[in-house]
């Protein structure tokens, strides 16, 4: 069954927004073994949407349309679908009820404009939206099934998983069983990963590289006539990947780096305190994205000014004067200072030059020192030279910090 995705929206056609819905859905459908054949995008333009629907109906058997279900005047999809199918719009009572419920839950007043979202081509099947206020709908014409979903990524993704995939599954019984897992690595470039994994491909297994700056994720997908066979092939290849990449792999289950670090700290009953300068709170933000992080994360100090390094962290003023705030000496004093201040097991610090200004010949933009302090293992630091924009340097630095904590716990406890 050939599948086509149509993404609509002026923001996509004008290059304002990257079309992440398609990207995400493509990976999802492919990882489940579906035959995604075409993707079309068009603006919020009635004629263009009709033309895209017509073309899709001719060449595909399932069509997933995203976008244009909102309350604003440029949201045209339901109207266009009505014209395309030759079926009038009708107020769908279930849809109206769903919208009313969502607004009540959120304590919001239902505006006249929101009722528009309850209209859909007569006889369509409503796809309830539990993640937002725009209901979707499904209808069929000449044996081609159409799914209309909202364009808000969170809603699009949830509804694709909730409604579209089970329906496609039903319609493609007997296709190969499929298993897929995500291996995540930190510290290698895409070409380095590819070089180390040369020749790892085998019949029935597909390997996809997915750079997710600054990490490289590796999607391993296996096809087989039973789930067990598919699963086994995937596991074998992942074992081989871990053997070849070693400590660069931080998860074989798709977890985030901060989740992995959190589990390691929890399991070893260790507490963490952070002293951040150039990352400006990003490391603490990532650490606290994990539910339950209050069990191991004690506090963070974003010591942007030199005064705060001296006053809060107890860094000797003379160290800053002699070596500069971005130095081995200061970053180690920061790590030790925050560890003692917080009475934490591990103190970690970051000081650097995120740019674009502030660089010097000996400490150019991208120079970052990372310190780590532990009561028994002592205090040490490393110097790094990163490249990129301000936000990229912050992101790489936060990544290296988290990876340092991961390796410290793995190797020292």
Using the rule CB under 8 A, is 14 a contact of its own copies?
yes
Using the rule CB under 8 A, is 410 a contact of its own copies?
no
**Least distance (Å) between residue 234 CB and its own copies:** 14
Using the rule CB under 8 A, is 55 a contact of its own copies?
yes
Please report, as residue ranges, which positions from 343 to 362 form the binding site for its own copies (by CB under 8 A): 343, 354-357
281 versus 324: smaller Cβ distance to its own copies? 281
Using the rule CB under 8 A, is 234 a contact of its own copies?
no
85 versus 296: smaller Cβ distance to its own copies? 296
**Least distance (Å) between residue 328 CB and its own copies:** 21
Q: What is the rounded CA–CA span in Å between residue 49 and residue 81?
A: 9
Using the rule CB under 8 A, is 25 a contact of its own copies?
yes
Peptide bond into 197 cis (omega under 30): no
Q: How many residues bind its own copies (CB under 8 A)?
A: 110
Instruction: Say whether 220 sits in a helix, a strand or coil.
Output: strand
276 versus 399: smaller Cβ distance to its own copies? 276
Structure tokens at 15: 């290059």
- Residue holding tokens 């130095």? 327
Q: What is the rounded CA–CA span in Å between residue 363 and residue 377?
A: 28
Q: What is the DSSP track for 285-325?
A: HHHTTSTTGGGTEEEEEE--SHHHHHHTT---HHHHHHH-S
Please report, as residue ranges, which positions from 132 to 151 form the binding site for its own copies (by CB under 8 A): 133
**Least distance (Å) between residue 126 CB and its own copies:** 19
Sole binder of its own copies in the list 129, 221, 349, 351 (CB under 8 A):
221
Using the rule CB under 8 A, is 330 a contact of its own copies?
no
Using the rule CB under 8 A, is 411 a contact of its own copies?
no
Tell me how crowded residue 375 is: count the other CB atoms within 10 A of its CB. 14
Strand partners, 203: none
Using the rule CB under 8 A, is 342 a contact of its own copies?
yes
Sole binder of its own copies in the list 128, 141, 177, 210 (CB under 8 A):
210
**Least distance (Å) between residue 114 CB and its own copies:** 5
Cβ atoms of residues 118 and 135 within 8 Å: yes
Using the rule CB under 8 A, is 101 a contact of its own copies?
no
59 versus 378: smaller Cβ distance to its own copies? 59
Using the rule CB under 8 A, is 98 a contact of its own copies?
no
Peptide bond into 360 cis (omega under 30): no
Structure tokens at 407: 């390796």
Q: Which residues contact 183 (CB under 8 A, 6 or more apart)?
A: 217, 218, 220, 238, 241, 242, 249, 251, 252
The CA-atom distances, in angstroms, between 300 and each of 249, 304, 335 are: 27, 12, 11
Site mask for its own copies (CB under 8 A), range 248-287, x = bound: --------------------------x-x--xxxxxxx-x
Which range binds its own copies by CB under 8 A, 36-44, 261-269, 371-379, 399-407? 36-44
């Amino acid at each position: 069954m050939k599948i086509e995705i149509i993404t609509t929206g002026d923001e996509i056609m004008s290059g304002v927004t990257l079309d992440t819905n398609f990207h995400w859905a493509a990976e999802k459908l492919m990882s489940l073994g579906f035959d995604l054949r075409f993707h079309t995008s068009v603006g919020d333009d009635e004629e263009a949407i009709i033309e895209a629907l017509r073309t899709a109906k001719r060449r595909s058997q399932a069509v997933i349309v995203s976008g244009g279900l909102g309350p604003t005047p440029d949201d045209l999809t339901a109207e266009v679908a009505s014209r395309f199918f030759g079926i009038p719009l009708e107020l769908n009572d279930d849809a109206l009820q769903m919208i009313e419920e969502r607004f009540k839950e959120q304590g919001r007043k239902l505006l006249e404009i929101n009722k528009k979202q309850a209209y859909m081509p007569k006889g369509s099947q409503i796809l309830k939206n539990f993640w937002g206020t725009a209901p979707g709908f499904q209808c069929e014409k000449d044996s081609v099934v159409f799914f209309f979903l909202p364009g808000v990524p969170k809603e699009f993704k949830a509804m694709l998983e909730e409604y579209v995939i089970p329906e496609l599954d039903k319609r493609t019984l007997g296709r190969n069983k499929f298993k897929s897992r995500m291996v995540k690595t930190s510290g290698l470039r895409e070409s380095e990963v590819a070089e180390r994994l040369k020749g790892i491909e085998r019949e029935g297994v597909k390997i996809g590289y997915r750079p997710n700056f600054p990490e490289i994720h590796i999607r391993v997908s296996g096809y087989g006539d039973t789930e067990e066979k598919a699963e086994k092939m995937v596991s074998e290849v992942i074992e081989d990947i871990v053997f070849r990449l070693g400590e660069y792999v931080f998860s074989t289950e798709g977890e985030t780096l901060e989740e992995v670090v959190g589990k390691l700290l929890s399991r070893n009953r260790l507490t963490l305190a952070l002293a951040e300068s150039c990352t400006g709170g990003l490391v603490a933000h990532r650490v606290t994205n994990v539910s339950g992080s209050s069990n191991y994360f004690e506090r963070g100090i974003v010591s942007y000014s030199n005064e705060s390094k001296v006053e809060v962290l107890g860094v000797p003023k003379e160290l800053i004067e002699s070596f500069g705030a971005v130095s081995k000496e200061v970053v180690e004093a920061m790590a030790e200072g925050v560890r003692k201040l917080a009475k934490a097991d591990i103190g970690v610090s970051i000081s650097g030059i995120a740019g674009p200004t502030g660089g010097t010949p000996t400490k150019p933009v991208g120079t970052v020192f990372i310190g780590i302090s532990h009561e028994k293992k002592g205090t040490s630091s490393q110097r790094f030279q990163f490249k990129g924009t301000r936000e990229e340097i912050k992101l790489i630095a936060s990544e290296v910090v988290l990876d340092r904590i991961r390796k410290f716990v793995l190797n020292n406890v």
